[in-house]
Structure formats: C-alpha cells, structure tokens
Structure 1
Amino acid sequence: MGRPTIDEPLRRLAEDPAAFLPAEPGEERIEDARFVISLQRERHPWSVGVQRLRLDPGEVTSTVAEIRDLLTARGRSASMWSVGSSALPSDLPDRLQALGMVPEDGPGEAAMVLVRPPEPHPPTSFVVRLAETADEYRVAADVMIEAFGFDPSDAAEARAQAESRFERSRASAHTRLALVWEDDVPIATGRVTFTPWGLFLGGGGTLPRARARGAFGALIPAAWREAVRRGTPALVTWARRDTSEPILARLGFEEVATIRQLRDDLGTGAGA
C-alpha cells in the first residue's frame, strides 16, 4: 500500500496558516489578494503575522508601506513576516531585508505535514494533556516565556493575558493548549488548532533544561489520536531546522514548504 498523499488544502494550510486557521475571539484578520495579516490581542511582535504573500515585483515597496500604515494605525509597533516557498516575487526575503526587516536567527523553518500514524516513539515518563483550567494556562504561559526567552515586557503581557486566553478558549471550539508534564512538573507546551483538514500545532516550546529528551515528540502521538478521533487524520506544524525538524522527520512528517521569517520593527524599518 502506498504512502498517503498530502492534499493541496493541507499544503496551503502548512505554508500559510494565518490565511486558513479559524479566527479566534478578539482576533482581527485582514485578507487581501496580495497578503493576509493576522492580529491577535497581545502586543508582542509574534501577535502580528503577515503571510500568504503574493506581491507584484514592481509593487513590493508600496505594498510594504501600505501594510506598515495599516499596522501603525492599529497601534502596533512590530510584526513577523513569514515568507513561504510560494511567495512572490521569488526574491522577496532579500527585498524585505532591503526595506529594513531583520531575518530571525537560525537556518529557517520547514512547514511539515503528517498524514499517517507517527512512527513508534520510545516509552517515556511524559504525560500529555490539554489544559483545562486558568491555572494551567498560566503555567503554560510561564513555560513559553522561558522556552522562547521573552523580554520582561513581553513576559508580563503573556502572564497578564493567560486568564483571558483561557476564557477565549472556552468560548471557542477551535483552539486548545496542550501541556507536557514530567513528574508533575510542566516542561513543554503547544497550541492545538482544529481545522477541517487536520490539527495545526503551533507555538510549541520546551524548557531549555528539558530539551533533547523527547518532550516535544511526546506531543505528536497524543495529537494524532485526537486528529483521528475528530475524523481529520493529519497534523500540520512548523519546525526549526536545527531543533524539531529532524525529530518530526523521524516520526514521519514530510516537508511541504520552506519558511523564512523576518521581523519588522515599525519604529525603525518603516522609514527605511
């Protein structure tokens, strides 16, 4: 029996999730034939995503200026641009850098899809479960803060927003947080979004002291079981090439696109 094929809707979701994930309460989405902008309630740079970029080569500068104006008018000071393999023009990352954007450190990310049961994972002591209380959402926020090295301002915002995130999750049927526990201590977390095509895993982070021990991989079998239970047997995620991409590849994920991320600080780049 051959390998399951990855349908085009899954490929599109994997490369440009902001264009296809269900909008959450309080989230604004600006959709244009040239781009999609997702604005979450939080104010840190990762709360503003610019994706599905299809720009005319002669209009890159003007379109960037247009997007910067839209974000400045909404009181945003920074955004994250995700340039996938299908983005146009093909040299868009270089053009965005010339306009003042700064590439994220590291070798980039891979958009990856799993459409068959994950390869067996060595037994571990990890316990994976969905966050069910406001306290668990606060715990997940603390894990994310340490995992991603938030600065004090962003950390304070993440902690302040934890309870409202929990309340929004209760009002939405789309998104939940998963926590990985070891000996009753939370060591990793990830956001699970339910879509008609499969589960999207985003915002995954592991505490530095717990990395390279399989905590992230422990999320995958649990997520797969939930995807099958919902009748959408597929997992979609982004993976850093220097950390999680090799782990996911061993579990059976396939790469469908390359993602390059650039940060646009509007106070500096907008005038470039």
Structure 2
Amino acid sequence: MPTGDLETGSERLREVLETPRRAFIPLPDTQVVERPGWLQLITPSLRQGGLNEVAFSALDENEADAVIDETLETYRRLGLRFRWTVGPDCRPADLAERLARRGLRRSETLGMIRETAAAPAEAASDVTVEQVDESTVEEFSRTMAAGWEMDPEPITAFNRLVLTHPGRRHRLFLARYRGVPAGTAGLVTFERSVYLLSGVVLPAFRKRGLYRALVNARLGYAAGQDIPFATSHARSSTSAPLLERLGFETLCRFEVFSND
C-alpha cells in the first residue's frame, strides 16, 4: 500500500496506535486521569462499558502491581465494565501477564490501516447505510445497544452528545436490511486519518453484507473529506479478518483486557 502523507512506518504506526487514544468525547461525569505514562477514563454513568478504560500505561516495574490493584479496585467499587489496552508501547514488559493473573478476560487486537482513496464497492441492493442525525439517533442507539447488549438509555444520551458536540469529529452510521435497522458503526476524524470504531451487526442479519457496507460507507466519507487513511483496532477473532479482506493492513498486534 502506498504510504501517502504518512511517509515512514513509524508515522503510520503512531497513527494506528497513538492517535485513537484521543477519540473519546467525555461526558459531564467523565474523569480523565492523565499523567506521564498514563491515560485513563472513568465514567460512572456508563456502567456497561464505554469511556471506562486504561488507554495507555507505561508503569515502573516496581510500582506496577500496586497501580494495577488500585485501578481495578476503582472500577470494581463503582460497578463499571472497563477495558485495559496493552499496546506494544506499554510497560512493564509483562504487563499483560500481570493483568491476566488477576482474572481479566484477554482478547487479541490488531492495529490496522488502509488508504481511503479507492472507490468502495457498492452495497447489496437490500442494504442501505445512512449517516445518523437527530431524527434517527434513537433508532441508531436502540440498535447499537442491542448489538452490544447494553442499556439503550445511557447510550442514547451519549449519542445525542456526539451529534451536538462542538467540532463534530464523530460520525455515526446506521445500516438497514430491507429497511429494518440491523447494524451500527462510528468514526472519529483526525487530521490524517479516520478511526473506525463500534461496528456491530445484529445476529439475525449477519452474513448479508452489512458490515462491509458500514466499512465502505465510512471509507467513502473519509475520502470525501480528503482524509487519506482509515485505522481500526479490530479483534483478531471477529472484525479483523473482515477488514483484511477489505484491504486493511495489520501494523501491530496487542491485547485488550476486560472484566466482562
């Protein structure tokens, strides 16, 4: 794949690994805990996930266990579903093993990238994808909540904030199958890339081209905004093989831990 305006492999890796850490929109109760070597989000109003994560952790080897235990206790005390991303730039070297020993569920994630310039393939005639606005945000949120098995009320409140947030870096997309809401996805725009996130298709509608259509719609949006690259953090067991078939290249592999 040509490198475009990301001239070196290290620049492309930073775009895949570091840039998405700034993809969040904080809610009024979100605590952003940031210091050298640490970025963490705590959002009590989203108990079932979202805006509750350790996005980056470069810890001193001798202090890591204490920090891990304190962090886990914070989320446990608040009753929050959370995730902890252990990227290739996290420390100490055995951070993943330390988290696994505490009983967190681990999944392999691929940091992926592709150019947006190529024209996306047409969706199947039964599939349509639309950008979400105020008139469809509730429908989108109910579909998203069903796909991720979450309470729709806080998700709806968050998505309304996304639509009205100053600067509007986020875009939401709703896929329909024969007019029925069947899948959702989002993106966050940055200067040189869009970050694809939260793609989900309801079980009854899978293997009908909806995931592909959601990816292609977002690639088309990015190309229309002259944003040259799309990135994603994709689970190796679910979305990564689909993205690979759609032209995404894997730049790194890392692990994400969660308490669900």
Provide the TM-score with structure 2 as the length reference: 0.83
Which residue of structure 2 aligns with residue 201 of structure 1? Answer: 196
* Structure 1 residues 18 and 53: CA distance shift in structure 2, 3 A: farther
Quick check: 1:131–1:176 contact (8 Å CA) kept in 2?
Answer: yes
CA distance in 1 between counterparts of 2:18 and 2:99 reads 18
Task: Map 1:21-32 onto structure 2 (within 5 A).
Answer: 21=23, 23-24=25-26, 26=28, 27-32=30-35
- Partner-residue secondary structure (3-state), 1:247: helix
- Report the RMSD for the aligned CA atoms in angstroms: 2.7
Superposed displacement of residue 23, structure 1: 3.7
Moved more, 44-53 or 113-122: 113-122
- Partner-residue secondary structure (3-state), 1:193: strand
Letter of the structure 2 residue corresponding to residue 62 of structure 1: A
Out of 232, 237, 244, which is 1:242 matched to? 237
Residues matched between the structures, number? 253
CA distance in 1 between counterparts of 2:80 and 2:258 reads 11
* Structure 1 residues 17 and 208: CA distance shift in structure 2, 3 A: farther
Superposed displacement of residue 120, structure 1: 5.4
Quick check: 1:179–1:190 contact (8 Å CA) kept in 2?
Answer: yes
> Are 1:96 and 2:99 an aligned pair?
yes
Superposed displacement of residue 65, structure 1: 3.3
Superposed displacement of residue 218, structure 1: 1.0
Question: Taking every aligned residue pair, what percent have the same amino acid on both sides?
Answer: 20
Letter of the structure 2 residue corresponding to residue 3 of structure 1: P
CA distance in 2 between counterparts of 1:10 and 1:52 reads 18
Quick check: 2:46–2:154 contact (8 Å CA) kept in 1?
Answer: no
- Partner-residue secondary structure (3-state), 1:228: helix
Which residue of structure 1 aligns with residue 56 of structure 2? Answer: 52
Superposed displacement of residue 245, structure 1: 1.2
Superposed displacement of residue 127, structure 1: 1.4
Quick check: 1:18–1:37 contact (8 Å CA) kept in 2?
Answer: no
Quick check: 1:108–1:240 contact (8 Å CA) kept in 2?
Answer: yes
CA distance in 2 between counterparts of 1:163 and 1:78 reads 18
Letter of the structure 2 residue corresponding to residue 144 of structure 1: M
* Structure 1 residues 220 and 118: CA distance shift in structure 2, 3 A: farther
- Structure 2: gaps (5+ residues): none
* Structure 1 residues 243 and 3: CA distance shift in structure 2, 3 A: same
Which residue of structure 2 aligns with residue 171 of structure 1? Answer: 165
CA distance in 2 between counterparts of 1:57 and 1:119 reads 47
Provide the TM-score with structure 1 as the length reference: 0.80
Task: Map 1:52-71 onto structure 2 (within 5 A).
Answer: 52-68=56-72
Task: Map 1:38-49 onto structure 2 (within 5 A).
Answer: 38-40=41-43, 41-49=45-53
Q: Which has the higher contact order (CA 8 A, sep 6+)?
A: 1
Higher helix residue share = 1
Letter of the structure 2 residue corresponding to residue 87 of structure 1: C
Letter of the structure 1 residue corresponding to residue 109 of structure 2: E
- Structure 1: gaps (5+ residues): 266-272
Quick check: 2:88–2:254 contact (8 Å CA) kept in 1?
Answer: yes
